[in-house]
Amino acid sequence: MVVSPMHTFHLNLNSKEINNIKLAILPGDPDRVKKIALLMDNPKYISKNREFTIWSANLNKNKIIICSTGIGGPSTSIVVEELSQLGIRIFLRIGTAGAIQPYLTVGSVLIVTAAVRYDGASQHFAPLEFPAVADLSCSLALIQSAQAISSKTYWGINVSSDTFYPGQERLNTYSGWVIKKLKGSMEEWKNMGVMGYEMESATLLTMCASQKNLRAGSIVGIIVNRTQKEIPNLDSVLHAENIAIQSVIKAAKMLLSNQNNIFLNKHNYNT
């Protein structure tokens, strides 16, 4: 009997193409996918549909997938769901963020060890009491890799907001104001030691922490410091992105070469 390969709804992928791949690198921006793939061996374009651009590449002998999530939780949840169906078990987000701590200068990298669940999508996977927390082995690999590349490496909690403007209390907008509930929210997060804002980590981390055998980590380049400025310059974006990209590739290599690592065995990574 011929069993036809499973085909996913959005990602234009089938189980034959993904056979035995365990790890995916997930940038937000589709244009970041090719950039990342070209830094590895045997980069290959696979497919593109909507905000989801997909390449594969090799790290040592391991094939991995690079797939963009687009902006926000809903599209991120589609990527994690469909790649999980195809056998991917480790997800590493590589993104950008706006810092809210004055010492987090532009060009720093931040390992998002946990996220404030200011998104909607994560609530479809676990109630709000459940933490959006990264897998320890992924965070450690990201921290170690980033530290080897940049002295400006930090880790901590980010707010993942569904909206770029009101949810991140931006006032340089068309209306110039935010609803009562969000007024003063940036100052409040800052006082609690939150590092910055981005939009996908909460969905990714909640999905993986709450489902069997899935692990996730997240690293972001700081492209603007919101305590000083609202609009980043392009050079800063490229610089911060580049350091985060190099770090995530190194971390992926580390995680794949360490499959007997105590952390990886903890939840039966191979099952």
Ligand X SMILES: O=P(O)(O)O[C@H]1O[C@H](CO)[C@@H](O)[C@H]1O
Ligand Y SMILES: O=c1cc[nH]c(=O)[nH]1
The DSSP code for 105 is: -
Q: Point out the residues that are catalytic.
A: 10, 82, 170, 226
Q: Which of ligand X, ligand Y, none binds 98 (CB below 5-8 Å, type-dependent)?
A: ligand Y
The DSSP code for 100 is: -
Min dist CB 200 to ligand X, Å, is 5
Min dist CB 155 to ligand X, Å, is 17
Residue 100 in contact with residue 196, Cβ under 8 Å? yes
Min dist CB 124 to ligand X, Å, is 19
Q: Which residues bind ligand Y (CB under 6 A)?
A: 96-98, 164, 168, 197-199, 223-224
Other CB atoms within 10 Å distance of the CB of residue 35: 16
Q: Which of ligand Y, ligand X, none binds 168 (CB below 5-8 Å, type-dependent)?
A: ligand Y
Min dist CB 196 to ligand X, Å, is 10
Q: Which of ligand X, ligand Y, none binds 200 (CB below 5-8 Å, type-dependent)?
A: ligand X
* Residue 256 main-chain phi, psi, to 5 deg: -75, -30
Q: Which residues bind ligand X (CB under 6 A)?
A: 27-29, 71, 95-96, 164, 198-200
- Residue nearest ligand X (C-beta atom): 28
Q: Between residues 62 and 196, which has the closer beta carbon with respect to ligand Y?
A: 196
* Both structure tokens of 260: 């007997």
Q: Which of ligand X, ligand Y, none binds 26 (CB below 5-8 Å, type-dependent)?
A: none
Q: Between residues 119 and 198, which has the closer beta carbon with respect to ligand Y?
A: 198
Amino acid identity, position 231: I
211: left (phi over 0), alpha (psi -120 to 50) or beta: beta
Euclidean distance between CA atoms 232 and 246, whole angstroms: 21
Euclidean distance between CA atoms 89 and 137, whole angstroms: 13
Helices marked H in 50-135 — which ranges?
73-85
Q: Between residues 159 and 254, which has the closer beta carbon with respect to ligand X?
A: 159
Q: Which of ligand X, ligand Y, none binds 224 (CB below 5-8 Å, type-dependent)?
A: ligand Y
Q: Between residues 114 and 264, which has the closer beta carbon with respect to ligand X?
A: 114
Residue 54 in contact with residue 65, Cβ under 8 Å? yes
Q: Between residues 28 and 107, which has the closer beta carbon with respect to ligand X?
A: 28
Min dist CB 37 to ligand X, Å, is 16
DSSP one-letter string for 117-182: EESSGGGGTS-TTS-EE--HHHHHHHHHHHHHH-S-EEEEEEEEES-SSGGGT--SSSS----GGG
Residue 153 in contact with residue 113, Cβ under 8 Å? no
